[in-house]
A and B are shown apart, each in its own frame.
Chain A
């Protein structure tokens, strides 16, 4: 009991003698952090005026913020009475160690498979990467939502990065009725793709008869476009296909099921062999 009282007394004396210094150091730290945050914002705005890449802006801002943070922490510690030389040495040693560790273990450090500005799909989320931190990745989806994805999820999930390849294949699948002119439909679909300036000449657009399905003959148009133009081109091609087929009198099939009713007094007529019902 007495020893606890002595401890509290010592603590009280310490606060009385060093409290002011401690509070000032704390103020330096808090004000420093606020200033760093504001400087970071201003710097970002300033760099955006130079039309730099988002990745470059992010890197430059982060480096400057880290340097400022080190200076603020060092100032606060110095105010607490720590030897400047010791602080400098610690910072120097930590920096050297960090550089050494990064240099040696870089190939082993898992990196995110995208950069800021890339359009990627992580799991079920599709959007543009706006920024990355040590803990999470900030993505803006195409319907305007900002999603923070933990980096652990990114590293453990399937990631599709649409910037790794310049081009992407468009599929225009359409089913036409069994009584329709397949060759004419193929020709129209191919012409629609070839005419479009966004569709690549190589690989050439092609049209396949994919399947003789239950309700239709399935045609598949395949062509390649630039990644950035994928979505609009695909939508345009689908629209043109529907309109051109309508104009040319080719009926697009829809799922259907023929039901034959018969009454007990009359026998149903079936064309195919093996379908005859005994009765």
Chain B
């Protein structure tokens, strides 16, 4: 195997480089839960997961969650996804984190 081929194997197999990040969240619209992203799916994704997680945290703080009940227009289940829509680990804890996690009926 040539070095170039070995490097190709490493690139494809070791670590995937996401092409961008979005903040995933859910909110109630007309008594139905809808999933949205920031930036939207048609907009250019963020190129920094640090910025994306910061945005996610700010959104969760702005929602001022009440632990007992879900308020109208409250943003729940906030986390960062990559360009494929897969949840990514929070870089600070290396765990899958969700801000304002709520169990909702789909």
Taking Cβ atoms with an 8 Å cutoff, the residues of A that contact B are 191, 194-199, 201, 204, 229, 232-233, 236, 239-240, 243-244, 247
- Quote the shortest CB–CB distance from B50 to chain A (angstroms): 4
Contact assessment for B91 and A197 in the assembled complex, using a CB-CB cutoff below 8 Å: no
Q: Given A201-B11, A229-B47, A232-B48, is A194 in contact with B17 using a C-beta cutoff of 8 Å? A: yes
Contact assessment for B19 and A197 in the assembled complex, using a CB-CB cutoff below 8 Å: yes
Contact assessment for B93 and A247 in the assembled complex, using a CB-CB cutoff below 8 Å: yes
Contact assessment for B47 and A244 in the assembled complex, using a CB-CB cutoff below 8 Å: no
A243 to B93, CA, bound (A): 8
Q: Given A191-B15, A195-B15, is A243 in contact with B48 using a C-beta cutoff of 8 Å? A: no
Instruction: Report chain A residues within 8 Å CB of B49.
Output: 196, 236
Contact assessment for B94 and A201 in the assembled complex, using a CB-CB cutoff below 8 Å: no
Contact assessment for B94 and A247 in the assembled complex, using a CB-CB cutoff below 8 Å: yes
A170 to B18, CA, bound (A): 20
Instruction: Report chain A residues within 8 Å CB of B19.
Output: 197
Looking at chain A's contact residues, the main secondary structure is: helix
Contact assessment for B47 and A194 in the assembled complex, using a CB-CB cutoff below 8 Å: no
- Quote the shortest CB–CB distance from B93 to chain A (angstroms): 7
Contact assessment for A197 and B7 in the assembled complex, using a CB-CB cutoff below 8 Å: no
A107 to B19, CA, bound (A): 45
Contact assessment for B7 and A204 in the assembled complex, using a CB-CB cutoff below 8 Å: yes
Contact assessment for B94 and A197 in the assembled complex, using a CB-CB cutoff below 8 Å: no
The 9 closest A-B pairs by CB, nearest first: A236-B50, A194-B15, A243-B92, A240-B91, A198-B47, A197-B18, A195-B15, A247-B94, A197-B47
Interface residues of B in 75-106 (CB under 8 A from A): 91-94
Contact assessment for B91 and A244 in the assembled complex, using a CB-CB cutoff below 8 Å: yes
A194 to B19, CA, bound (A): 12
Instruction: Report chain A residues within 8 Å CB of B17.
Output: 194-197, 199, 201
Closest partner residue, chain B, to A232 (CB atom): B48
Interface flag for B20 (CB, 8 Å): yes
Instruction: Report chain B residues within 8 Å CB of A236.
Output: 48-51
Interface flag for B14 (CB, 8 Å): yes
- Quote the shortest CB–CB distance from B89 to chain A (angstroms): 10
Instruction: Report chain B residues within 8 Å CB of A196.
Output: 17, 48-49
